Amino acid sequence: MRRTLRAWLYRLAGLFGSARRDRELAEEIESHLQLHVDDKVRAGMTPEEARRQAIVEFGAVESIKESYRDRRGVPMIDTLMRDVSWAWRVLLRDPGFALVAVLTLALGIAATTAVFSIVDAVLLRPLPYPEADRLVAVGTADAQNPGRARPLSTGIFTALRERATALERIVAYQQDRATLLGGGEPRLVAVGRVTDGFFELFGGTPLLGRTLIAADHSEDAERLVVLSHALWQSAWGGDPAIVGKRVTLSDAPHTVVGVLAPQFRHPEAAGGSPNGGAVDLWAPLRLDAAQHLQYIGLGRLAEDATVASAQAQVDAIVFDAVAPLLAGMPETFPTRGAVTPLQAKTIGDIGDTLAVFLGAAGLLLLIACANVAYLLLARGVHRGQELVLRTALGAHRSRVARQLFVESLLLALMGGAAGTALTYVVVGVFQVADPGTIPRFTEVVVNGRILSFALALAGITGVVFGLAPMLQLSHNNPALALREGAPGFSDGQSARRLRSLLVVAQTALALVLLVGAGLLVNSFAALARADAGFDPSGLALVEVRLPVSFAERAQGGPFFDELLERTRATVDADAVALTTTPPYTSSFRWALVPEGWEQTRNTAEQPFIRGNAVSSNYFSVMGIPLLAGRPFDEDDRPGAPVVALVNEAFVRAYWPGEDPLGKRIIAGFSLFSADSLAVIGVVGGVRAEPGAEADPEIYMLAAQQPRRTMTLVARTRGDAASLIPAMREAIWALDPDLPIRRATTMEAVASELIAGPRFYALLSTSFAGAALVLALVGIYGTAAHAANRRRREISIRSALGAEAAAIVRMVVRDGVVLAVIGVLIGAFLSRWLAGFLAGLLFGVSEGDVATLFGCAALFVATSCVASLIPALRAARTDPVAALRADR
Amino acid sequence: MGGKQDVWQGTLALMVLKTLEAMGPLHGYGIARRIEQTSGDVLSINYGTLYPALLKLEQEGYIASEWGRSDNNRKAKFYSLTRAGRKHLARQTQDWEQATETLARFLALGEASS
């Protein structure tokens, strides 16, 4: 056994340095012969005779050399290596072809691998936490919407922590924005408030200092914070002496107790929107005594628990906890739990969208393969003589087929290598163009698994398009091919049909991608254009929150009045207004009962209506139309009857078909300055986000309903962003310590909200563009081939006086015919496949005929152009010269 | 590639090893001549077929090779027996002797009873 192993190792080694060993063997054989000749000569023969006999007695030298070589190396690998070096030389002979083929493949492989890297990071890889498969999000739900998870209250959370044995650990989480002083300039940071056990749950290890321990969460413990690595770098420049430093967070002194390692990724399911701003630091959460539903629950299942068993247990505990509070609560009050695996919750339903794009990338890869197969077949025309000769000289057809296959594989591997390099570039572009709407997008990376995927793709594509030349091989008649003047090795009917099939397939698939891109682009355009209900251009927003010392809300009113005056005076804006909730911002909701609501409805479903407190000129500044009644005027002020404006969505929802003016709305159990309001007017609805409908909304005068948090809105005809510094100055002139919570322009906000559709539109357009180019190459090739094949016919025709235009038409038709067939097939395919896009579209249906028509027309037009080039060339060749040169 | 070839290669290998044991280090031609002589010219082999067999023995580690000079000063590759080769030869010789002995007994048995 050992000996055999030793022998095999020597044989593997024998694969290298074959030239040297061949030489050695030749020397040894020569030496053998010499010795033999010497003996014979001594016995009396002549040297020549001796040599001849020695050679005879040695045996067939070549055959012996071959046996020796077979034993020396590993024959299968030897042949393979020979095939590879042969294939390499063949490719080098035609570098143009090789380059085009490799680039085409690289394009297809890079696209598919890049999208796969997203799919892998978002859907396939487990979350980057210890025992990620047992992590769950815990919330409440009401009986009518069991799927929609809502937050926990203090009571529910503590009950779960004590009694839910199916959960090995549960923490409560709340996110907040606060001003941080002590790290350079004052900055607004995202604070993650957590209960004990958060860092253990998510594997947060400290780089410096420590994370929070149980003792830090008690009422009288010193206030500590743990910094994120990013914040430590940007605010303190990575100062190693950070631990123990004092900072001020929302006006309270805190001490830095540690810095987290840079690899830590805050769980997105706890952060609101995906990638919705990384959390900058963590602090202990002091559970509120109130019973609002405000905490996100995160936990880990116990060893022997399942999601189902945990759900059952949580249901029971939640019900017990809320039972005493149920009296008088609406039916939408949660009475049960919602336990969701954290990965599922993080991913949401982005999986469908990603699958669509993976499919699109796959189509592009197929088109690329078809292209390369086509190129290989086309090239077969020129190699015909060579291959046939080899067959005639005794090479087995299987050997020739195998060599063609190796050529294809080599091409595929080169394409794979180039595609892998291109993948890095594409993924880099993705990371820069991150739309912010895809969860876990920051985890996208090119790692070993992705590279193996690319390699596998290369192998598969090599097999797929490698079949083409082999198919061609089986159709050929050597005798015909060797005859001079015959059409050539592979230009027979069946070969042409194969090529035409490829072009038609390419065209159909390319049209599908084109239509998909067209739909997504139209959808995005519709989204961007959609009437928002107000005029978003030239608006600057700056949000401030008055500190608790203004808690006497009466003080808040005068402050904002003064701010308004000051801003009007100092900021170069056309108009200035105040609002609590600018458009595209989530707002608090007021519990209100519109007049007549209780009588007309059976269920005591309490309406929670989007509320807004604004300055009197708000609607004119925002460009929101007044549809009925009157706007706020000077008679409306503190002390006067409290009035409100509602939007048309409100009227449609609660008073359909009735005249809303003069109706009253009764305040629910929220903090209102009056028991009821009178409706004085109706305004147009403002969309909650681009593409969504307007929610019912109620507007009150800020003077009559003052709030602590207001956004200063300024409109200008020029660049809105330029107003922001002046607005900030105006605020700080009144109170220099006031933190600015948000300063942006309306256009930036809107743009961010449609970043997702924009990303999809761009991505699909890139795929479609690449597909179009590849398909056009196929069309061009067909026309060029047709022109070439019909060279004699064309020459004769033009010698006989045919017009150039007629010849051009003839060639173009050859190319365009295939394009039209492909377009028709593609049209059917895209009608069928467009259904997958339905969820992504806005304002345009997936069966939109205009888009289909437009793409088809575009394709046919570009095919005409692509066919035109060889057509013009054919028309221009001198017929006499062509006829003479043609054999 | 049947069993016949393997048996032949096996016997050839054994003859090579034995030759080297008896004669000491020898070049390929010398080994071939010696085998021919010893077999009483019953075996007439093409000398060249020896070389693949020599390579196999070398790969298995039973013999070692070295370039040197022959008696009449010709450059030649000399092969010599290694320790492992010696042990292998001894084992194989024993196996062969046992096999022939057993066979002989069988044949004798037939004769005795007939």
Query: What local confidence, expressed as pLDDT, does residue A539 receive?
Result: 92
Per-residue pLDDT, B113: 56
Across residues B91-100, what is the average pLDDT?
Answer: 90
| pLDDT confidence of residue A482 | 52
Q: Which of A737, A770, A804 is the last residue of a domain?
A: A737
Instruction: Give the span between the Cα atoms of A222 and A12, in whole angstroms.
Output: 69
- Whether residue A767 is predicted with pLDDT greater than 90 in this model: the reply is yes
Our CA-based measurement puts residue A404 at a distance from the nearest CA of chain B, in whole angstroms, of 29
Each residue of A513-569: pLDDT tens digit?
Answer: 999 999 999 989 888 888 888 888 889 999 887 776 665 555 667 788 888 888 888
Q: Does B52 contact A68 at a Cβ distance shorter than 8 Å?
A: yes
Helix A397-432 crosses helix A448-474 at what angle (to 10 degrees)?
Answer: 140
Question: CB contact, 8 Å: B6 with chain A?
Answer: no
SS3 content of chain A, % helix, strand, coil (to 5): 55, 15, 30
CB contacts, 8 Å: B61 with chain A: 3, 6
CB contact under 8 A, B29 and A35: yes
Which tens digits make up the pLDDT trace of A513-528?
A: 999 999 999 989 888 8
Instruction: Print the domain residue range for B55.
Output: 3-113
Which of A737, A768, A783 is where one domain is finished?
A737
Check whether residue A53 and residue A165 sit in a common domain: no
For A378, the enclosing helix (H) or strand (E) is helix A350-392
CB contact under 8 A, B76 and A31: yes
Tell me: pLDDT of A874 over 80. no
Q: Report which residue type is found at B20.
A: L
- Minimum-distance CB partner of B29 among A6, A36, A71: A36
Give per-residue pLDDT as tens, A426-446: 999 988 888 877 888 888 888
Q: How high is the pLDDT of residue A510? A: 93
Return the SS3 of A638.
Answer: coil
Condensed to tens digits (0 to 9), the pLDDT of residues A337-391 reads 889 999 888 888 888 889 999 999 999 999 999 888 888 887 776 676 677 777 6
Tell whether the model's pLDDT for residue B3 goes beyond 60.
no
Q: In this structure, are A399 and A456 located in the same domain?
A: yes
Task: Give the number of other Cβ atoms within 10 Å of residue A786's Cβ.
Answer: 23
Q: What is the CATH number of the domain that holds B70?
A: 1.10.10.10
Most B CBs within 10 Å, among A21, A58, A61, to test the B interface: A58
Whether the CB-CB separation of A331 and A603 falls below 8 Å is answered with yes
Number of domains observed in the structure of chain B? 1
Give the residue from B47, B63, B78, B79 with the most A CB atoms within 10 Å of its CB, the best one to mutate.
B47
**Closest chain B residue to the Cα of A4, Cα to Cα:** B60
Cβ–Cβ gap B46/A59 under 8 Å: yes
As a whole number, mean pLDDT of residues A869-876 equals 79
In a domain, A216, yes or no: yes
From chain B, the residues in CB contact with A25 under 8 A are: 51
Q: Are A262 and A206 contacting, i.e. CB atoms less than 8 angstroms apart?
A: no
A330 and A391 co-located in one domain? no
- Tell me the shortest Cα–Cα distance from A34 to chain B, in angstroms: 8
Chain-chain contact of B51 with A64 (C-beta, under 8 angstroms): yes
Between A and B, how many CB-CB pairs are < 8 A?
A: 74
Taking an 8 Å cut-off on Cβ atoms, the answer to whether A35 and B59 are in contact is: no
Question: Is residue A125's pLDDT more than 80?
Answer: yes
**Is B69 touching A (CB cutoff 8 A)?**
no
**A275 band by pLDDT with thresholds 50, 70 and 90:** very low
Query: Does residue A138 form part of some domain?
Result: no
Q: What residues does A180 pair with on adjacent strands?
A: A187, A249
Structure tokens at A619: 């609607």
Half-sphere exposure (CA, 13 Å, Cβ side) for A144?
6
> What are the backbone angles phi and psi of residue A191, rounded to the nearest 5°?
-105, 130
In this prediction the ipTM stands at 0.84
CA–CA min distance A816, chain B (Å): 59
pLDDT score of A473: 65
Cβ-based interface (< 8 Å): residues of A facing B: 3-4, 6-7, 10-11, 25, 27-29, 31-32, 34-36, 38-39, 57-61, 64, 67-68, 70-72
Closest CA to B31 of A36, A37, A43: A36
Token pair for A178: 């606060």
Q: Which of B1, B29, B57 to mutate to test the interface with A (most CBs of A within 10 A)?
A: B29
Tokens of B41: 């010219």
Task: Report the amino acid identity of residue B21.
Answer: E
Q: Does B49 touch chain A (CB under 8 A)?
A: yes
Residues A276 and A390 in one domain: no
What are the chain B neighbours of A38 within 8 Å (beta carbons)? 72, 74
Residue recorded with tokens 């929220």: A670
Kindly state whether residue A434 falls inside one of the protein's structural domains.
Answer: yes
Does A542 map to a domain?
A: no
Indicate if the pLDDT at residue A472 is higher than 80. no
**A137 occurs within a structural domain:** no
pLDDT score for A381:
65
Report yes or no: B52 at the A interface, CB cutoff 8 Å. yes
Between strands A676-683 and A643-647, the pairing is parallel
A66 falls within a domain: yes
Q: Which residues pair with A682 in a beta bridge?
A: A628, A646
d(CA A615, CA B83): 105
Q: Is B114 on the interface with A (CB under 8 A)?
A: no
Residues contacting B98, CB < 8 A, separation 6+: none
Nearest C-alpha in A relative to B58: A7
| A701-721 burial: b if 16+ Cβ within 10 Å, else e | bbbbbbbbebbbbbbbeeebe
CA neighbor of A105 nearest in space, from A717, A774, A596: A774
Residues A220 and A279 in one domain: yes
The token duo for A30 is 């020569």
Residues 6+ apart with CB under 8 A from A514: A768, A771, A772, A855, A858, A859
- The answer to whether residue B74 neighbours chain A at the CB level (below 8 Å) is yes
- Spell out a b/e string for A473-484, using b for 16 or more CB atoms within 10 Å of the CB, else e: beebeeeebeee
Percent helix, percent strand, percent coil in chain B, to nearest 5: 70, 15, 20
| Per-residue pLDDT at A398 exceeds 80 | no
Q: Is A35's CB within 8 Å of B76's CB?
A: yes
Selecting from B27, B55, B62 the residue whose C-beta is nearest the C-beta of A35 gives B27
B34 touching A (Cβ < 8 Å):
no
Residue A159, domain member (yes or no): yes
> Is this structure's pTM higher than 0.90?
no
Q: Do A60 and B56 touch (CB under 8 A)?
A: no
- The per-residue DSSP string of B42-77 comes to -----GGGHHHHHHHHHHHTSEEEEEEE-TTS-EEE
Q: How far is B32 from chain A (nearest CA, A)?
A: 10
A68 interaction partners in chain B (CB closer than 8 Å): 51-52, 55
Mean pLDDT for the stretch of residues A61-77: 79
Domain boundary among the residues A334, A369, A387 is at A334
Long-range CB pairs of A800-807, under 8 A, 24+ apart, other chains included: A804/A875, A804/A876, A805/A875, A807/A871, A807/A874, A807/A875
How confident is the model over A755-759, as a mean pLDDT?
Answer: 88
Does residue A538 contact residue A718 with C-beta atoms inside 8 Å? yes
The domain of A260 spans: 144-334
Please tell me whether residues A481 and A393 are part of one structural domain.
yes
Average pLDDT for B13-41: 87
Reply yes or no on whether the pLDDT at A194 is more than 80. Answer: yes
Mean pLDDT of A768-786: 86
pLDDT in tens, A224-239: 999 999 889 888 888 8
A119 in any annotated domain: yes
Chain A positions in Cβ-Cβ contact with residue B55 (cut-off 8 Å): 68, 71-72
- Domain count of the fold of chain A: 5
- Does the pLDDT of residue A273 top 60, yes or no? no
Residue A487: pLDDT band (50, 70, 90) is very low
Contact A34/B74, CB-based, under 8 Å? yes
Mean pLDDT over each residue of chain A, to the nearest integer: 83
